[in-house]
Amino acid sequence: MTIPQCPKCLGEESPHSVENIKYDIFKCHECHTVFEFDQAKVIGRPPIGVTKKQSLTLQEETWEWIEESVKNGHAGNRSEFLRDIIEFARTGR
């Protein structure tokens, strides 16, 4: 099911704070607005590929380097950071 954006919070709410309370009626638990789905914009990022779960074993210092790189703004999260490294290795960009 697509999670709509609260028309009052305009996307500033957590996606987990919007609840489907009836067929096409939703409630934002942050501002307490109740709204119909057709009044809302769809939120969430567009799909960027196929998700496959994979375990990855690395040395602790490598995981620390990844976390530090993300914390310093080189990527939004670990997944994005690893995707960027793989894409660079694959394409050189």
pLDDT-derived band at 4 (thresholds 50, 70, 90) equals confident
Sheet with 34-36, strands from edge to edge, namely 18-22, 25-28, 34-36
* pTM across the whole model: 0.50
| Domain extent listing, the chain | 1-44, 46-93
Q: pLDDT, tens digit, for every residue of 21-72?
A: 887 788 888 888 888 876 445 555 556 777 778 899 999 999 999 999 999 9
